[in-house]
Amino acid sequence: MPLNTIPAENFLNREYEFKYLKDLAELKGNALGGNVFLEGARGMGKTELLKQLYRFLYWEDGVVPFYYSFKTANLKGTYFARDYFTGFVRQYLSFAKKEPAIADNAAEPLQRLMPVISSLGLHWLIDCIEDFQEHLRKNDFYWQIVAAISVPVVAAQKSGKPVIIMLDDFDAAERLYESSLGDAHGLISLFGESMRNRLCPHVITGSTGALEAIFTDHSLIGMTEQMRLGPLPEDLAAALFRAHLAHLKVACAPGAQLKFLDILRGNPLYIRNLAKAAWKMQKKEFTEKDLIECYAFEVTEGETAFYWSSVFNRYVPNASKRKAMLKLLMHSIENGGMENGAQLVMVSGLGEAETAAILEAMEVSGIIRENDSVFQDFIRCLYLKEIKGREARDVREKIELKYVSAGEESRFELVIPMSSNAELVVAKAVEQIGRNIHLDPDFLNYLQLALIEVCINAIEHSGSYEKKVFLKFITRPDKLEIIIENSGRPFSLDSRTEVPVEEKLRMGMKRGWGFKLVYAIMDSVKIERINDRTRVILIKNITDKEVLQ
């Protein structure tokens, strides 16, 4: 049941839409309104608006809310009918008793709810349940679906209390089937009767491309209006992002402008996912550079990438066709559009009929209509991984490089094996880089010691299955940044045993100087855990005293 939603105060810029939907039952009852098709780009907050509406109506008493998501539904007709019917019964009883647990306990048979139904005097609901079970016993496919779809209408007529029906991703209902996909066309039209009922306004979401297929009856088109959810304005997008960060206890650096958020185009889903990425990557004080780094993680292997991958699997579940779709989308991005013709067949690597089917699926899904930079970056990442065979780490760095201003910045990368004295190779590399940017020799010596310590820790304590340490050096006129990353066990400062620096100097020790020295030398030391990888980020601000005069 959709009561688990974001706080109302964080649901920004949707006051008009929310108020209109809240009054929809009264408007339809007075013939001043009808059903609503809620459209907008993916991630724009359509589902969240339904959840907010559900939560508001649930704790009131005037209109019964019923929510059903087709994106998680089993679309075999008999399974759908049972799921839809029992879902409504549980949500209706939960609303009547104001007990969320009734709706949440999906495993409880309806028979066990009969005492609750009787205590509420809902004898008509008992009749509905018995009739539906009779259809199940007779294996009457058609009447199972009709009985399920019509039960909210029966509830509204018997109680006199309107039922607002929220159908999320409704276009998926077009693929309802009896025994195998495509064997029973037009089942979605069975919703027509309930949509006409004045006591049952429907709020539906789905792809705009599927509208014509859904509303084959022109009378339904006439009684359904479109409501489009647009992006959040820049100021509200930034406010929502900061609110998510605050909730996750991630602080923003003083003066952080967060200009990079503009690329998200006010999309609430992207904003939320980016904030969660900052939390997952253990960012302590969020900066503009962190924003870009977290974004690269999101479109490569984060929740945003997972979301878009699930959309792909939904519309094109076949693996080879998925790759063909990916090639077509990349072709569209690189060429500024998706032209028709034989060239697309060559791009996909499939036949004309299969290519046409993929293009139709893409059109229905609506994924190529919006000028969505985030989606395009996801496609680039997926293309590099699945078609070009690149590793996620390499792809992530390409995205970062795309957005980090090159300016006077230089980057060097190094991969060392986890073998004896390999860290000395790193020290030599740092020496050369330090000379290139004219670092003072004494300071450079300390810097080498600090880096040796971090590399020793990665080599000796990580238990990495890759047996490699990845290093990246980023030099700017005012800053040196060194990133050390490896797979394996998490690193904990608590597990380290420090030897006093004075003792090491007396003994002439070149190794194991400890993280106290690292913290003493560097201006910033961050240790992050990303999936199964540990990343140490060392930053040194370059001032006059560190530069050779």
- Can you tell me the distance from the alpha carbon of 163 to that of 429, in angstroms, rounded to the nearest whole number? 70
- Can you tell me the distance from the alpha carbon of 347 to that of 358, in angstroms, rounded to the nearest whole number? 12
At residue 138, the pLDDT reads 93
What residue ranges do the domains of the chain occupy?
8-228, 232-404, 407-546
At residue 507, the pLDDT reads 46
What is the arrangement of strands in the sheet containing 468-476, beginning at the earlier edge strand?
410-417, 468-476, 479-487, 533-541, 524-530
Of residues 526, 516, 520, the one with CA closest to residue 491: 526
Q: In this structure, which topology does domain 407-546 adopt according to CATH?
A: Heat Shock Protein 90 (3.30.565)
CATH topology match: 8-228 vs 407-546: no
Of residues 303, 285, 281, the one with CA closest to residue 246: 285
At residue 540, the pLDDT reads 85
Q: State the helix-helix crossing angle for 373-382 and 303-315, rounded to 10 degrees.
A: 80
Q: Angle 343-348-350 (CA atoms, 0-180°, nearest 5)?
A: 105
State the distance between the two ends of the chain, measured CA to CA, in whole angstroms.
68
SS3 sequence, 58-96?
A: HCCCCCEEEEEECCCCCCEHHHHHHHHHHHHHHHHHHHH
pLDDT, tens digit only, all 549 positions of the chain? 566 777 776 677 788 899 999 999 998 888 777 899 988 888 888 999 999 999 999 999 899 999 999 887 788 889 999 999 999 999 999 999 999 999 988 778 888 999 999 999 999 999 999 999 999 999 999 999 999 999 999 999 999 999 999 999 888 887 888 888 777 777 888 888 898 899 999 999 987 655 555 555 555 666 788 888 888 888 889 989 999 999 899 988 777 788 889 899 899 999 999 999 999 988 888 888 889 999 999 999 999 999 998 888 877 778 888 888 888 888 888 777 766 667 788 888 888 888 888 887 777 777 766 678 899 999 999 999 988 888 888 888 888 878 875 445 677 888 888 887 787 888 888 888 887 777 788 888 888 888 888 888 888 777 777 788 888 888 877 788 888 888 887 765 544 455 554 554 444 444 445 677 788 888 888 888 777 778 888 888 877 555 554
At residue 407, the pLDDT reads 46
Pairing label, strands 468-476, 410-417: antiparallel
CA distances from 223 to 33, 34, 160 (A): 8, 5, 22
Q: In this structure, which topology does domain 8-228 adopt according to CATH?
A: Rossmann fold (3.40.50)
Read off the pTM: 0.69
Three-class DSSP category at 33: coil
At residue 405, the pLDDT reads 57
